Structure 1
Amino acid sequence: MNIKNVTLDNIDHEHICCAIVDKKGDTGVSSKKAWLKQRFADGLVFKKLDVRGKVFIEYIPAEFAWCPLHADHYMHINCFWVSGQFKGQGYANQLLAECIADAKARGKMGITVLSSTKKMPFLSDPSYLKHKGFMVADTASPYYELLYLPFGDNAPVPQFRESAKKGTTEETGMVLYYSNQCPHTDKYAPLLQQIAEQRGTTVKLIRFETTEQAQQAPAPFTTYSFFFDGEFVTNEIWSEKKFIKFLDEKGFEAILHQEK
Structure 2
Amino acid sequence: MEIIRIDSSNIDHEHICCAISDKKGDPCVSSKKNWMKRQFENGLVFKRLNARGKAFIEYIPAENAWCPIDGDGYLFINCFWVSGQFKGQGYGNDLLQECISDGKAQNKKGLVVVSSAKKIPFLSDPKYLKHKGFQVCDTAEPYFELLYLPFCEDAPKPKFKECCKNAFIEEKGMVLYYTNQCPHTEKYAPKIAELAQEKGQIVKLVKIETVFQAQNAPSPFTTYCFFSDGQFVTNEILSESKFGKFLEKKGL
Class of the TM-score when normalised by the shorter of the 2 chains = over 0.9
Work out whether residues 77 and 111 of structure 2, in 8 Å CA contact, stay in contact via their aligned partners in 1: yes
Spell out, residue by residue over 1:112-132, the C-alpha distance to the aligned partner (whole angstroms, 9 max, x if none).
011000000000000000000
Paired with 2:117 and 2:88, the residues of 1 have a C-alpha distance of: 23
Aligned partner of 2:98 in structure 1 is: 98
Q: CA separation in 1, counterparts of 2:167 and 2:20?
A: 30
Number of equivalences? 252
What is the match of residue 36 of structure 2? 36
Letter in 2 for 1:110: G
CA distance in 1, matches of 2:18, 2:213: 24
- 5 Å matches for 1:1-260? 1-19=1-19, 21-252=21-252
Larger radius of gyration: 1
Residues 57 and 95 in structure 2, CA contact (< 8 A), matched pair in contact too: yes
Q: State the 1:21 CA deviation.
A: 4.3
TM-superposed deviation, 1:25: 2.2
Shift of 1:92: 0.2
Structure 2: 5+ residue runs without aligned partners?
A: none
TM-score for the superposition, normalised by structure 2:
0.99
Give the TM-score of the pair, scaled to structure 1.
0.96
My pick for the range that moved more, 13-22 or 63-72, is 13-22
Distance in 2 between residues matched to 1:85 and 1:196, nearest whole Å: 37
Counterpart secondary structure, 1:12: coil
Gaps of 5+ in 1: 253-260
RMSD of the TM alignment (CA)?
0.7
Whole-Å separation in 2 of the counterparts to 1:172 and 1:181:
26
Distance 1:21 1:15 in 2: 7
**What secondary structure does 2:15 align onto?**
coil
Give the fraction of aligned pairs with identical amino acids, expressed as a percent.
66
Q: How big is each residue's C-alpha offset from its partner over 1:53-92, in whole Å with a ceiling of 9 and x where there is no partner?
A: 1000000000000000000100000000000000011100
The amino acid that maps onto 2:98 is: E
The alpha carbon displacement at 1:48 in A equals 0.4
SS across alignment from 2:205: strand
SS in 2 for 1:48: strand
Q: Aligned equivalents of 1:21 and 1:200: distance in 2? A: 35
Deviation at 1:172, TM superposition (A): 1.0
CA distance in 2, matches of 1:162, 1:87: 36
Answer yes or no: is the 8 Å Cα contact 2:111–2:149 preserved in 1: yes
C-alpha separation between the residues in 1 aligned to 2:139 and 2:18? 26
Over 2 Å off, 4+ runs: none
2:235 and 2:120 map into 1 onto residues whose CA distance is 9
Using the alignment, how far apart are the partners of 1:166 and 1:93 within structure 2?
33
How far residue 22 of structure 1 moved from its aligned partner, in angstroms, is 2.5
Give the SS at the match of 2:149.
Answer: strand
